[in-house]
Homo-oligomer: A and B are copies of this chain.
């Protein structure tokens, strides 16, 4: 048996090395590369993507997978090897029907498109981005079509790429419950909103000091700076080459204290996940976070569940005040906690609070459903976007930059990605209630000892990489499926407390 799996190794190695290169090229483009470089560099990216595609999708690998279908061969595999084969089969289902030439073109195009999006956003010009967006949608529709063997809807195929087994039916129910339960809460909160002041947040905060504090807080929650770096980019993100090279970015603004701090905590959550993947799995195809949803659950767990809690800030708020005494001396810990949890409908997703965040996602989900259901044209998109903001959040974007052009995701060809954020929120809440039941969670935070919390996540989630999918993780931790009720309970409890509402 050994032999059959060994034959696969060179292909897996090549795929790993090319993934490393492509990840670094993408990181570099977002953080450092000179303005005019991408036009040439994207040629190299196209070729490398093609090589990566061909490293796994070829007749040799197909034959090896075929051989491994026999029960006899399969029984010889250990757990890790079975996970590798399962993941490889999943990749096959995603890619093998797509002609390699088209895939290469798409990779090249989607590597360059974000720079066109960035320019269009800066110039507030949707028309400049529209044809690019149209082309990306066409690619994705065509790819979904190639793969469509069982009459599955295109958008379900895209959703499944980011979260195995998640469909429109599931999400309609998921968001339906949130709408029913959270819209009344949001309306109540808005009514009482004047009682919370967060004027402190828009005072002037030296960027150099923000940098130092953010680096410190990232380390405080568990980011290991021997295995990772914190850099700057327009749009905060995280990425990694393997479990010893994990990278996050943020964007500092002088007149916004919370922005960088919470984006760093968020990205550190992603990073801690990747740093926690076991050495046996890193640099293999099962050596990354298992899905976008689970990834977002970790970032949001750190950013919101922990990072916006009283217990988290109790031991460290004095450090923040001593970093910015002039601005914060008169802001009590209680004021600060209410400030960082203030809910206010706004137009920009990445600036949204926990309560309104899911509505931003719901809007994008509904738009993607329309786009991939062929019920909408490129020209209509901005208006429909604006209408939905008016419907759900009571505000209308004044221009495309604060409307449809605000997110980078579509420019990279990532459709079906946004719902992961909502799924992540729900998982984070579900984990939270479970962890509170098995450990002195609040005590740890109050004592500034986050290690047991990080260790629990490492032991139960991080180390497994892709060996368990989202539902398997939840099942093994708490013997339950994904359940949005926890998230609804979490929001109700939290906001009733922050706004002194009666618990319903």
- Contact surface of A with B, Cβ cutoff 8 Å: 13-14, 16-18, 20-22, 24-25, 28, 32-37, 39-41, 43-48, 51, 225-229, 231, 241-246, 282-283
Contact = CB atoms under 8 A, between A and B. Distances in A.
Given A34-B227, A34-B229, A40-B283, 6 more contacts: A13-B47, A17-B45, A17-B47, A20-B44, A28-B28, A40-B244
Nearest to A15: B47
Given A24-B24, A34-B228, A229-B32, A17 B51 contact: yes
A48 B32 contact: no
A238 to B, nearest CB: 13
25 contacts: A14-B51, A16-B44, A17-B44, A17-B46, A17-B47, A18-B48, A20-B25, A20-B41, A21-B21, A32-B229, A33-B245, A34-B229, A35-B227, A36-B226, A36-B244, A36-B245, A37-B241, A37-B244, A40-B241, A40-B242, A40-B282, A41-B241, A41-B245, A43-B283, A44-B241
A34 B242 CA distance: 11
Contacts of A13: 47
A33 B240 CA distance: 11
Contacts of A36: 226-227, 244-245
Contact of A37 (B41, B46, B51, B227): B227
A24 B48 CA distance: 13
A432 B489 CA distance: 77
A225 B32 CA distance: 12
A46 B10 CA distance: 12
Contacts of A226: 34-36
A373 B16 CA distance: 40
A22 B44 CA distance: 11
A32 B243 CA distance: 16
Nearest to A46: B17
B39 A244 contact: yes
A175 B231 CA distance: 46
Contacts of A228: 34
A229 to B, nearest CB: 5
Nearest to A39: B244
A46 B14 CA distance: 10
Contacts of A22: 21
Contacts of A39: 244
A5 to B, nearest CB: 18
The 10 lowest CB-CB distance pairs between A and B, nearest first, are A37-B245, A21-B21, A17-B47, A20-B44, A17-B44, A40-B242, A36-B244, A35-B226, A17-B48, A36-B226
A16, A17, A244: which has the most chain B beta carbons within 10 Å?
A17
Contacts of A244: 34, 36-37, 39-40
